[in-house]
Every structure is written in C-alpha cells, then in structure tokens.
Amino acid sequence: MADSGTRSSTVYHDAAKTLQGKITLDGVNVYYGPKQAIHDVSMVIPDRSVTAFIGPSGCGKSTILRTINRMNETIDIARTEGSIRIDGDEVNSKAVDPVILRARVGMVFQKPNPFPNSIYDNVAYGPRIHGLASGKRDLDAIVETSLKKAGLWDEVADRLDQPGTGLSGGQQQRLVIARAIAVSPEVILMDEPCSALDPIATAKIEELIDELRENYCIVIVTHSMAQAARVSQMTAFFHMGDLVEYGPTEDIFTNPHEPRTQDYITGRFG
Amino acid sequence: MPINALILLMMLVLISAAFYVGRSRALRSSGRGSVSLHSLPNYHGYFVALWTGVPALLLMAAMAVFGPSISESVIEMRLNQAAAPLAADLDAQLAGDSLIQSAQRTLDSSADVNAATQARAAIQSRRTAIADSIADTARESGASGLALAGFEYANLPPERRGLFINDARALAFNGQPSEITPAIEATASAFRPVDRIVRFGGAVLAILLAMAGLAWSRSRVKAGFRARNRVEAAFMGFLMFCSGIAILTTIGIVASLLFESLRFFEAINWRLDQFLFGTQWSPQTAIRAEQVGQTGAFGAVPLFAGTFMITIIAILVAGPIGLFAAIYLSEYAGKRTRKIVKPVMEILAGIPTVVYGFFALLTVGPAIRAAAQFVGFESAVTQSALSAGLVMGVMIIPFVSSLSDDVINAVPQTLRDGAYAMGATKSETVKQVILPAALPGIVGAFLLAVSRAVGETMIVVMAAGQGANLTANPLESVTTITVQIVMLLTGDQEFDSAKTLSAFALGLVLFIFTLALNVIALRVVQRYREKYE
Amino acid sequence: MNNRTDIQAAVEARLAKRYRAEGRFRMFGILAIMAAISVLILLIGSIASQSIPAFRVNELTLPVTLEAARVDPAGDGSEASLRRGSYNSLLQEALRAEFPEIEDRGQLRELFGLYTPLNSARLQNQVLANPGLVGQTIDFTFPISDDADLYLQGLTTASSEAAPGLVATPSGTSGEVRVFANSNVFSPIVADIRERLATQAEELEDRARRYENRAASAAGEEARISLTREAEQARTQSASLRSLAEPGSLSVDMSPELPSRLIRMNGGIVHIDRISDSGRTAEGRVLVALDNTEAGDDWTIWTLDTPQAERRITDAQIAWAETLRERGRVETGFNTYLFTNADSREPELAGVLGAVIGSALTMLVTMFLAVPIGVATAVYLEEFAPKNRLTGFIEVNINNLAAVPSIVFGLLGLAVFISLFGLPRSAPLVGGMVLALMTLPTVIISSRAALKAVPPSIREAALGVGASRLQTVVHHVLPLAAPGILTGSIIGLAQAMGETAPLLMIGMVAFVADAPSLSVGGLTEPATVMPVQIFLWSDGAERAFEPRTAAAILVLLALMIVFNAVAVFLRRRFERRW
Ligand SMILES: Nc1ncnc2c1ncn2[C@@H]1O[C@H](COP(=O)(O)OP(=O)(O)OP(=O)(O)O)[C@@H](O)[C@H]1O
Ligand SMILES: [Mg+2]
C-alpha cells in the first residue's frame, strides 16, 4: 500500500499513446460507512475501446464501476471522494444530475434484470422516460435498431409484446444491453455480464461487445481471465481496493510488472 | 370452592409423591441388581407422576365442566319423581275434562285461524286452572315442598325452566336469584345435598383414580423399563393433540355454522333464493307474522349491499394511503424515519375496534353530518355508511401498508438498479418497474384488507346504524352482515327461533366469503414470492 | 436522434417536468403518512379531551343523623335489622335541611333529583361496617347527580351574572314574589325575548314558504296536501309567536324554550317567570329563600344561556347546586368512583373496576389455554411433524384461522360452549375460551417464527451428544426461542384484550353491577370486560357516560400499552441474532 502513490503515476503510460481518454479517475476513494472499499484510484479509461477490470472477489471492481454512473448513491452508507470526469465533465459534482449522467452512461448487471413487462417496453423504457422519441414510429425505430445492435432482433422480432422475463438468460442479457444502448449512451458499464450465462450465450455477448466497441467506451468487470484477454484492449487489476496495475491487455497478460498481478493471472490466488 | 382447592392440593401432593416413588424405585432397582437403568431415574419419576396425575386431573376437569349439569339433571329427575303423583293426577283430570275435550275438537276440526287461537288459549287457561287446583289440594293435604316445586316446574313453559333451575342454584349457593318463591326455595334446599354428593363423589373418584394410577405405574418401574420412551410418547401425544385443536376449531366452526344454518334454511322452507337474493330484511316482523318462509323477511341483499359499500369506502381510504405510505417508507424514507414511522402506523392496527367505533360515533359521524348539512344534505345522519367506512379505512391502513411494504421489499434490488442505471427517477422506477413487479402481491394485500373489513364488527355496529336500507347514498345509515349477527344474538333471545338461527346463516356467508378471499390472497402472494425466490 | 448533444438536450428539456412529477409523487407518500399519523393523533387527542370531565367529580357532604329508630328498626343492632333501615329518607332529610323553605312536593322531588338513591346503599354499608355509628351524626360524602355534576363542571350551559347597580325591592322571602326596581332594569331582557321570538317566527315563516314551494311543485295530490298542512301549521305557530313578541301587552312570559333568568338578592335566588312590559317589575318563584325583604342595589341578574327545555337539569336544581357549592357543601375532587366501582346505571357511581377484573379473569383463561396449546402446536409442527398431507393441512388451516373474522369465533362459542356443553353465559371462562381459540393462530405463527430462527447448528450439537429429539427441543431450542415466543404471545393477548365482538355473542354484554371476585369462582360468574364496558357506555343515554366512555378507553389503551411495552422490552432485552 505504501507504493500506491508511485504506482498510480505509472500505470497508464501507454494508454494515452494510442487511444483518446474518455473517463478520468483521479484519487478516488470510496467508503461504505466507516469501511474504505477503494483506496486512491487514479486512471484514464480510453474511448471506443473495451477496458476490463479484473481482481479477486471483494476487491472493489463493482464499487469503482458504480462510481462512474453514481449508482453508489442508491446505497445509503456509500460515500465517494475524488474526481471522476467524463470528457472533462466532473461526474461527482452537485451540479450534475445523476439522471442525465445515467442517460450518458449505461449499465449492464451481472444478473439479467429485464423489467416485468414486454420486450418492446423494456427497450423503449429509456427513450420514453427521457423523451427521446418524437412519436410511435420513432420509438419503433429506436427499439428496432437497439435490438439489432444487440443482436437480438432476429430472435424476438415476432414477439415484441411478450414479457421480457420469458426469454432465455442469454437473450435476457442481450435485451438488457439493447435497453442500455437505446438511449445512445457514451459509456457502457458491464458488471460481470456473462457470469450467469452458458458458453454459447457468453460467446454471443462477447461478439456483441466487440461490435459495440466501435461506438462506445465500454468498461467490463469480469472474473474470467480469458474473457478479459479476448474482449478488452485495456486491463486494470484491482486488489483489496487498490488499483495494482493498469495497461494494455497484452502487456498485463504477457508481461505484468507487479508480482501480485502475475500471481493472480497465473491463478496462484484469487 | 374450598373443597376443590383441597382436592387440587391433595392431587399436587400425590403427584409429587408419585414422582419420588417412581424415581426412588428406579434407583433401588438399579442399585440392587447392578443392571443399569434404561432411562434416567427422573424419567421413571415422570412416568409414575403422569399416570397418577393425568387421568385424575382429566376427571376433575370433566367434573368441573359437567358437574353442574349432572347435578341439574339429578335435580330435574328428583323433581319429576316427587311430582309424579300430582302429574298423573293432572293428566287424568285433563283427559277427563269436558271443556278441554270440546276445545280440542274445535282445534282439530276448525280451519279458521281465529277459532284455533281461541281454542288453544282456552285449553291453556283451563289447564292452568286445573293445575292450580291440584297444587292447592296437594298443599292442603301436606304434600312435600319438593313435590309442589316439581309440579310447578313441570308446568312451566320450557323456556322458563332454565331460569327456574338457575334461580334455585343461585339461591342455594349465595347467588342472586331473580325471584324467590317457595318452589324455588324447596328446589334450592334439594340442590345442596345433590351438589355436595356430586362434588364429593367426583373428588373421591379422582383421588382413587390417582392412587390406582400410582400403584399400577409404580409396579411397572424396573431397571430395563423404557420410561423415557413412554414419557416422550406421552409428550408427543400431547403435542399432537394440541396441533389437532386448530383443526378441531375449524371443524367446530364449520359444523356449528352449517348445522344451525341448515336449521334456518329449514325454517324458511329452503327458500335459499329468498335469503340470498331477497331485498327485504326484517327478522323482527318475521316472528310476529308466524310465516317465516312466505313473507320473505330474510332477504339478505341489503346487508350484503351495506357490507359492500362500507368495504369499498374503507378500501378507498386505506388503499391509496396504505400503498403510498408503504412506497414512501420502503423507497424514500431513511432508516431513522422508517424506524419511527412504521411502529407509529402499526399502532393504528393495535387500537381496539370499539375505540374506533366510539371515535366514529362521537367525532367523525357528527363532523360528517355537519359537513353534509352545510353542503345542503339536510337529511344527513350521524350513523352513516360514510363515517363507518372512513374510520374502518383508517383501521386497515396498517394492514395495507405493512403487507405492501413486505411485497415491495421482496422486489429484487436488481430491478431497481436496472431502472436507476437507465436514468430513471425514483418515482419512475416505482411506477414503471416496482409496482408492476409487485402487483400480484399488492392485490393479495388488498384482498386481505377487504376480508378484514368485511369481517369487522364493532365499528359498524356503533357507527353505521341499523336500518336495513338498500341505498347507494353513503350518507345514509346502512347495516352489514356483522351488525345483524350482533343485533340478532344480543339482548333477549330464544335460541331456536328462525330469527336467531338466521344469524348463523349470515355467519356462514361471512365465513365462506372471508375464507375464499383469504385463500385466494394467500395463493396470489405465494405465487408472487416464489417468482422472486 | 443519434447526435449525442441532441440527446443531451432532449433529456435536459424534460428534466424539470420529470422532477416535478418526482416531487409530486414523493409528496403523496409524505401526505399519506401524515394523514395516517394525524388521524391517529386526532383519535387519541379527541378521546383524551373528551375524557377530562370523567376524572373530576363533584361530591356533596351533608351531616346525616343516623337516628336509631330509623336505621335500626328492630332495635337490636343486628345486621338484619340494620339492613332494613330507611337510609334514603335520612339522605333526603339531610338535603332538605339545607333548603327548609321548600314545601311543594314537586319541588322536593326536584331537589332529591340532585343525587341518586343508590347512595343510600353506600350509607348502609358504612353503617354495617361500623354499627357504632347508629345514633350519631356523621358527615356523609356522596357524588352529586351526573347532570348537576356536568353543570358544576360548566358543561351544561354558559352562565353570566350582571349587576344592574340600581335599587330593587323583593316583595317576600319565599314562595311567589315580585321584585320592583326603581328603573326599567329588566327592559333589555324583554327586548331580548322579543327579538328571539321574532327570529323564531321568521324561521317558521321561512319554513312555511319552503313547504309552500315544494307543495306547488309536488307530484302527488297526497304529498301536496300534507305539505300544505305543514306550511299552515308553521304559519299559525309563527303568528302566535309574533303576537307574543308584540310590544304593548302588559307583561312578557319567560318560557323554557328561552334562556333562563334568575335574580340573586339578599342571600337568596328568585326564578323570573314574568316581566312587566315597563321593565321595572319581575315576578317569579323563590328557589332559595331570601334573608329579608330589604331594598338594596347589591343584586344581580343571572342568565343561563341554554334554555331549560334543552337540558336535563332544571333551573331550580342549578340554583340549589350552585347554592350548595357556595355553602361549601359541594366540593370538586378526583373521581375515585371511576376506579373503585363496578358498572352502575348512574354515571356518577359507574366505574371500570368490574370490567378490569372481568378482563383480567378472561385474559387469564385465554393465556392458560392459548399459550401452552399454541406453543405445543408450534413445537410439533416445527420440530417433529413429518411433512405430509395432514401436517400440510394443519398449516393451511392455521393460516386461514388467522383470517377468520372474530365474530365467527363468537358464533362458535355460542353454539358449542354454551348451547352444546351448557357452560354458563356471560362468564369469563367461556369468554376466555373463545378468545383463546381466536388468539391461537397468532401464538402458533409467532412461536414457529421464533423456533425457525434458532439455527440448526444448535439442534445438531445437542443431537450430536446423544440427546433425544424431545430433550433437544426442551433443553436447547425452546429456551432460545422463548423470548420470541413470549413476545408473540403477549402481542396476541393484547389483541384479545381489545376484542369485543365475539364476547357479545356469548352474552358478555349483560349489565353487571358487582365486580366479579378475583378467584376461580369468579370464572363462572357473569362478568363484562373492558371493551364491552366501553361499548355499553358508549350507548348510554346519559350524557355523563360520554366522558366516562372516553376515560374507560384511556384505561384500556393504558393496559394495552403496558402489554406491548413488556413485549417490546422482552424483544430488546433478549433479542439475539445468529
Ligand atoms: N452495500 C455495501 N455495504 C457495505 N459494504 C459493501 C457494500 N457493497 C460492497 N461492499 C464492500 O465493499 C468491498 C468491495 O465490494 P465490491 O462489490 O465492489 O467487490 P467486487 O470486486 O465487485 O467483488 P465480486 O467480484 O465478488 O463482485 C467489499 O469488501 C464489500 O464487502
Ligand atoms: Mg461485483
């Protein structure tokens, strides 16, 4: 922990070279009540690419992810310090409305959580509440493109009015992704999106993530080293609330600087 | 009482003695033969104590419950016995009396209602006169007080006999009889020895039973005896019996309601259609007209309508308030607020319903009447459907709110997260995600609240009035199923009239309806729970 | 709409509206909670304020001479003889001694209306307890009648006194008298009376006009005739009122429909019946004798705003009650009767003691039945029962029993316990049995929850050292679950304590003037319980029962609060989390 200061200044050296920064975290600390869950994390997450957060369970991956769209605010005892900027706009300031922020930053959760109404209504939910569609036709178009982007259109086109909870787990997860991209967010946060899915569904989602990368800044939390290696361009390794190492995925997996990273990747703990 | 207390004390002594007897015998038998006991010595003690106490105590309980009726039937027997010669005399004289014979002929032959009534009255008065003269002669010739009392008793109309016996009992045991006549005094003095015998007999029997139990069970205590298993089996038997009481209660409810209702339906000539669909409810007139079935005085529709109206008003109050309160408490309020507000709202459910009734009668009712009159409804009354409904609504707020609260809390957090992450505000999340998800559970909660409102009694008895109006105006007084049950069964009543029996039919309707609501509600809620588990 | 700034703008454009909706929604929630809580406050507040008069009582203290000849007619001082004494006439005489001027029998009856003869029984008991009192004169204290009490508490009528400051002369000290004033001091009263008569007449004419209008538009012939008749009646009434109000007649009569006026002068009270048109002379009846007939300017006109016809206490009784108070014979004190007496037909003697004892007996029966049976059932179902059809049925059955309306349990009690088993009506024993059946599901459900909360590891540990299943439960599980079981049971009992409807069914509505004895024997004596007492009093004809009902409610609520506080305390004290 003593070296966290020096490390955080060195972690993102390569990132800035090839990719443009989208999200900047600066000295972020998160507390749950008296307990500190995140210690002084600083990093730059690039746009139009996939950044993977890895680390042992309980190290704070979800926590840091949830600071980016301020979902931590829904937890009474959570408290965030430090600066988080998206395109230079401070996220954590009082002036920023979490509602607007969350329209810019979509999120997909570990367990697919379609709302208890139809497939159509699920996807149309965001555009409706935010008033993004000017009419029924417009809304139909948004729903269709979103479902297409999420690679679900062909499977559900003929049963849009059926409950979203009636889909398979993998379909549900893609539905939820479609729901997230229906409001054209800039950032999509994914918290272990494949952990409840079988390998085939997982492959589909991974494919989808790879496609979405062209237009979005994607941050994904995963417990699968392989998945991180497959889908991400950048990887951050967290341990006990510290950002241990952050860099291009290739570097992290082939040539980690930190022994802890090395140990985790090779499966010696975690 | 002292004798009972004494017996109870003796029983206690016997039981503890039995325990030590069993225990020490067990210890001795193990000590002597070096065979180790199967069960701990204490269990042998329990075994013997159980055999000593349980049968005897059961007998004592039975005597306490049925003793009075035993002594009453003995007394009745003795009264009849003593009065037998006089009664025979009466029968003979009645049979030979020309007046009665002629009246009886009119009664048999005449179809005219008036003539029949007159004949019946004539027979009655003649009969009384003969009975009086027999009693007088008997008194002069020095017949025993008991015989006279028995004769008087036998000639009482059946519904007065209970009172006679009660008075005699009261007189015999320092109570307050409603009247004191020589006959009652004679019966009372006959009562005392009989009662003493019954009591002493019971007590002696109980003690003997206890001793027998002790002796027998003691003989069974041996080293290899499985006392623990016996004791545990007895205990299990007790537990199972207790569990059975819930079922017995249900059976009791169903049987008594059904049985009495059937008798009621019989009394109205099986015109169930008139009971369920008739619009005229006037059980009082039905008695006077002597034509229960035909008059259709037992049309329960006004009661159903009144119940329905008050329930609707109550739900209109409790539904929105309870639901919004639940939403606020589970989604908006901080921990501290919740911790204070929830118990405060629960108080509303803990307040006895008579208190609500009083509140409705003296505060809400007059206020509503004043308001209605101010607006121009001159005929508004204090006891109205509206005031009862409003107050009942307040009473069931906590039901709706705490049941809805449970249901809302059961909606998985991931759904909320999903909505928030889309940028939904709290109210949007609640309206579009949580409520649709929780809908079945909330419906269940409402159904339970409805069942509660339908079965509620005191508020409506005190605040809704008694007029069986078939009206849609909530400012008028209406009556409900429960109110009528209370009206029919309180005050002076003869147990077997169609009027009182109709209360059981109403009770049956009420029971079936609330049971159905409850079953459906529990099903719905259960399904809902399973979905999210 | 794919441009991100467009989206941003669109979202922002709707934001204010969405937040307004959010605010509204939140407001509804707050309003709902405030509504519920304010009704609660209103409920408690209104009952508490209504109960205040019940806690005070005005008591008369009179010197009563216990003449041996009348208290002890047989003269042997035996109990039987003392019981035949005529105590009420002693009380009557004592009261009459205060107002020796009253001769008229009607007036005497009015005077004796100031207390209830039931008080003579209390005097008798006092003498029976202490036969040495015979022949002595004692100060006997007893409550004044409920109507006088309400008046003295200022709840019957507003009253005001005005001193005209002019000289007036009474024509006598008792009987019918005239009071002459040297100026027209009574004119304002005359004017007031005329004004009231005029307004009443106007109201009647209004009504007549309404009836006429309705008659004009009435559909049926019959309705028209009856409405016209009503209108005519109103017109004649108003005409007679107008003629009464007409100035010029020789004198104006007071009537019971108008506020009463009395004159206090020379230590006595005169009730005004008539006033001369000049406003200088008032005629009336002396209620409290005047000391003399001297002229003076130290006198007052006393107005009672509520007309006599609208209250249950007469002007004369008010005058006497007020005089007794002035003489120090009536004193206001804390109403101990409310707590030391059982029910009574007379509000001033009615108390809750009988009902409290009845409740205690009933709750004892309920407790001894419901708690053991409920806990045993819970233990069986939770710890031993095989999961089969039968036990499943029992479970469903218990859940449904919990929702059966309480009145149905009353019907069960009536049909089974009373008709079938022949147990006595109105008895705490039967009441307790019915309530026990009703409470059983609550006790079972909460006990099962408490048993469920005991972690299986405890059971495994006990079974592991070779305890039998019963031993495990009795030695380890039950003690750990006891606080939860106790809490649930107490809450169930508190509920049962407030229950009324089932008890009405088994005849516990009887009027019971003696408190049942707190013993086993009391279980089969007729009794009533607190909530039923409240129900009975709320139906009482006398207005004085109203505050007493409210007070009884406070007593009941206090008892329930104690119960619940104990439950909360137990939960706090023994709560354990695994
Ligand atoms: N609502 C909460 N209240 C209190 N502590 C919390 C809360 N949520 C998380 N924590 C704590 O914060 C720390 C980080 O949790 P977080 O959920 O971010 O871990 P994670 O890396 O996502 O783990 P996993 O891989 O298991 O999802 C943990 O120690 C956890 O116990
Ligand atoms: Mg996580």
pLDDT, tens digit, for every residue of B398-419?
999 988 998 898 888 889 999 9
DSSP A121-166: HHHHHHHHHHT--SSHHHHHHHHHHHHHHTT-HHHHGGGTTSBGGG
**Buried/exposed C568-578: b ≥16 CB within 10 Å, e otherwise:** eebbeeeeeee
Cα of A63 vs centre of ligand 1, distance in Å, is 6
CATH of the domain at B428: 1.10.3720.10
Give yes or no for B483 touching C (CB within 8 A).
no
Model confidence band, residue B532 (pLDDT cutoffs 50, 70, 90): low
Q: Which of B414, B423, B424 faces A113 most closely, judged by CB atoms?
A: B414
What 3-state DSSP class applies to B134? helix
Shortest CA distance to C527 belongs to which of C544, C547, C513, C541? C513
Is B293 within a domain?
A: no
User: Which atom from ligand 1 is nearest to the alpha carbon of A110?
Assistant: 27
Model confidence band, residue B292 (pLDDT cutoffs 50, 70, 90): very low
Predicted confidence at residue C249, as pLDDT, reads 66
Return the amino acid letter for B482. T
Predicted confidence at residue B120, as pLDDT, reads 79
> Domain C349-574 is of which CATH architecture?
Orthogonal Bundle (1.10)
Cα of A69 vs centre of ligand 2, distance in Å, is 15
Q: What own/partner pairs with CB < 8 Å and gap ≥ 24 does B59-62 have?
A: B59/B202, B59/B205, B59/B206, B59/B209, B60/B7, B60/B8, B60/B11, B60/B202, B60/B203, B60/B206
Choosing from B198, B223, B248, the residue where a domain stops is B223
> In this structure, what are the phi and psi dihedrals at residue A224, rounded to the nearest 5 degrees?
-100, 115
Question: Is A32 close to ligand 1, i.e. is its CB under 6 Å away?
Answer: yes
Model confidence band, residue A188 (pLDDT cutoffs 50, 70, 90): very high
**In percent, how much of chain B has pLDDT > 90?**
26
Chain B: residue nearest A103 by CA? B423
Predicted confidence at residue B492, as pLDDT, reads 61
Question: Is A37 close to ligand 1, i.e. is its CB under 6 Å away?
Answer: yes
C15 min Cα distance to partner chain A (Å): 8
Predicted confidence at residue C172, as pLDDT, reads 85
Predicted confidence at residue C374, as pLDDT, reads 94
User: Which atom from ligand 1 is nearest to the alpha carbon of A66?
Assistant: 18
- Restricting to C residues 14-33, those with a Cβ less than 8 Å away from any Cβ of A are 14-15, 18
Residues B384, B484, single domain; the answer is yes
Residues of B within 8 A of C412 (CB-CB) are 249, 252-253, 256-257
Question: Is A111 close to ligand 1, i.e. is its CB under 6 Å away?
Answer: no
Give yes or no for A103 touching B (CB within 8 A).
yes
Chain C: residue nearest A99 by CA? C15
- Which chains sit next to B, with 3 or more Cβ pairs under 8 A? A, C
Give yes or no for B320 touching C (CB within 8 A).
yes
A138 min Cα distance to partner chain C (Å): 9
Instruction: Write down the ipTM of this complex.
Output: 0.88
Predicted TM-score (pTM) of the model is 0.84
Is B279 within a domain?
A: no
User: Which atom from ligand 1 is nearest to the alpha carbon of A64?
Assistant: 18
Residues B204, B330, single domain; the answer is no
Q: Are β-strands A187-191 and A105-108 bridged in parallel, bridged antiparallel, or unpaired?
A: parallel
Query: Per the CB < 8 Å rule, is C10 touching A104?
Result: no
E-strand ranges in B133-291 read none
Cα–Cα distances (Å) from B250 to A66, B246, B522, C402, C419, in that order, read 54, 6, 18, 11, 18
User: What residue has token string 């499966």?
Assistant: A267
Predicted confidence at residue C407, as pLDDT, reads 94
Is the separation of the CB atoms in B403 and B445 below 8 Å?
yes
Return the amino acid letter for C173. T
- Mean pLDDT (chain A, rounded): 86
Question: Is A61 close to ligand 1, i.e. is its CB under 6 Å away?
Answer: yes
Query: Per the CB < 8 Å rule, is C13 touching A131?
Result: yes
User: Which atom from ligand 1 is nearest to the alpha carbon of A192?
Assistant: 27
Distance CA B296, CA B278 (A): 7
Give yes or no for C546 touching B (CB within 8 A).
yes
**Residue C244 burial (CB < 10 Å; 0-12/13-18/19+)?**
middle
Q: Which of B242, B262, B404 to mutate to test the interface with C (most CBs of C within 10 A)?
A: B242
Q: Is the pLDDT reported for residue A8 higher than 50?
A: no
**Residue B456 burial (CB < 10 Å; 0-12/13-18/19+)?**
buried
pLDDT digits (tens, 9 = 90+) for B203-213: 888 889 988 98
Domains of chain A: 14-265 (3.40.50.300)
Query: Per the CB < 8 Å rule, is A76 touching B334?
Result: yes
Between C81 and A38, whose confidence is greater? A38
Q: Which ligand is nearest to the CA of A36?
A: 1
Q: Which of B178, B235, B355, B404 to mutate to test the interface with C (most CBs of C within 10 A)?
A: B355
Predicted confidence at residue B31, as pLDDT, reads 66
> In this structure, what are the phi and psi dihedrals at residue C296, rounded to the nearest 5 degrees?
-170, 170
DSSP element (H, E) containing A79: strand A78-86
Predicted confidence at residue A10, as pLDDT, reads 39
Is the separation of the CB atoms in C555 and C563 below 8 Å?
no
- Pick the residue whose CA is nearest to atom 31 on ligand 1: A58
Is B70 within a domain?
A: yes
Strand partners, C219: none
Give yes or no for A75 touching C (CB within 8 A).
no
Per-residue pLDDT of chain C (578 residues; tens, 9 = 90+): 457 778 888 888 888 899 999 999 999 999 999 999 999 999 999 999 999 999 999 999 999 988 888 888 887 878 788 888 888 888 999 999 888 888 888 888 999 999 988 888 888 888 888 888 888 888 999 999 999 999 999 888 888 888 888 888 888 888 888 888 888 888 888 888 888 888 888 888 888 888 888 778 777 777 788 888 888 888 888 888 777 777 666 677 887 888 888 998 888 899 988 888 788 888 888 888 888 888 888 888 899 988 888 888 999 999 999 999 999 999 999 999 999 888 888 888 899 999 999 999 999 999 999 999 999 999 999 888 888 888 888 888 898 898 899 999 999 999 999 888 878 888 899 999 999 999 999 999 999 999 998 888 888 888 888 778 888 888 889 988 988 898 889 989 999 999 999 999 988 887 877 777 777 777 888 889 999 999 999 988 788 899 999 999 999 999 999 988 888 888 787 766 55
Cα of A161 vs centre of ligand 1, distance in Å, is 37
Inter-chain Cβ pairs, chain A and chain B, closer than 8 A:
69
**Residue C277 burial (CB < 10 Å; 0-12/13-18/19+)?**
middle
Strand partners, A85: A24, A90
Judged by average pLDDT, the poorest of A138-142, B61-65, B239-243 is B61-65
Residues B201, B309, single domain; the answer is no
User: Which atom from ligand 1 is nearest to the alpha carbon of A35?
Assistant: 5
Q: Which ligand is nearest to the CA of A79?
A: 1
**Residue A88 burial (CB < 10 Å; 0-12/13-18/19+)?**
exposed
- Rg of chain B over Cα atoms, rounded to whole angstroms, equals 33
Residues of C within 8 A of A186 (CB-CB) are 4
> In this structure, what are the phi and psi dihedrals at residue C507, rounded to the nearest 5 degrees?
80, 20
Predicted confidence at residue A19, as pLDDT, reads 66
Predicted confidence at residue C2, as pLDDT, reads 56
Is the separation of the CB atoms in C231 and C251 below 8 Å?
no
Predicted confidence at residue B278, as pLDDT, reads 83
Query: Per the CB < 8 Å rule, is C407 touching B239?
Result: no
DSSP at A257: S
How many structural domains compose chain B? 2
Shortest CA distance to B465 belongs to which of B367, B363, B357? B357
Instruction: Please list all protein residues whose beta carbon sits less than 5 angstroms from ligand 2, which is an ion.
Output: A 62
B270: left (phi over 0), alpha (psi -120 to 50) or beta: left
Choosing from B223, B251, B273, the residue where a domain stops is B223
Shortest CA distance to A117 belongs to which of A69, A166, A151? A166
Q: What is the mean pLDDT of residues B419-429?
A: 91
Q: CB within 8 A of C557, min separation 6: which ones? A: B351, B355, C44
Q: What is the mean pLDDT of residues A77-106?
A: 89
Is B367 within a domain?
A: yes
Q: What is the mean pLDDT of residues B81-94?
A: 84
CA atoms within 13 A on the CB side of B346: 14
Q: Which of A76, A102, A111 faces B421 most closely, judged by CB atoms?
A: A102
Is the separation of the CB atoms in C72 and C81 below 8 Å?
yes
pLDDT digits (tens, 9 = 90+) for B123-137: 888 888 888 888 888
Predicted confidence at residue B368, as pLDDT, reads 92
Is B399 within a domain?
A: yes
Two structure tokens written together for B47 = 């075994």
C14 min Cα distance to partner chain A (Å): 7
pLDDT digits (tens, 9 = 90+) for A111-145: 889 998 899 999 999 999 888 888 899 999 999 99
Predicted confidence at residue B298, as pLDDT, reads 83
Shortest CA distance to A1 belongs to which of A259, A242, A236? A242
Predicted confidence at residue A179, as pLDDT, reads 92
Domain with B116 in it? 2-223
Is B423 within a domain?
A: yes
Choosing from B170, B203, B223, the residue where a domain stops is B223
Two structure tokens written together for C202 = 């106007």
Cα–Cα distances (Å) from B341 to A28, B353, B469, C7, C22, in that order, read 36, 21, 40, 41, 22
**Buried/exposed A72-84: b ≥16 CB within 10 Å, e otherwise:** bebeeebebebeb
Predicted confidence at residue B35, as pLDDT, reads 56
Predicted confidence at residue B493, as pLDDT, reads 59
Predicted confidence at residue B453, as pLDDT, reads 93
Q: Is the pLDDT reported for residue A41 higher than 50?
A: yes
Return the amino acid letter for A115. F
Q: Are β-strands C56-65 and C330-334 bridged in parallel, bridged antiparallel, or unpaired?
A: antiparallel
Is B282 within a domain?
A: no
Q: Is the pLDDT reported for residue B468 higher than 80?
A: no
Give yes or no for B175 touching A (CB within 8 A).
no
Is B239 within a domain?
A: no
Question: Is A62 close to ligand 1, i.e. is its CB under 6 Å away?
Answer: yes
Strand partners, C333: C57
Q: Which of A99, A104, A132 faces C10 most closely, judged by CB atoms?
A: A132
Chain-centroid distance of CA A181 in Å reads 12
Give yes or no for B123 touching A (CB within 8 A).
no
Two structure tokens written together for C445 = 């459900």
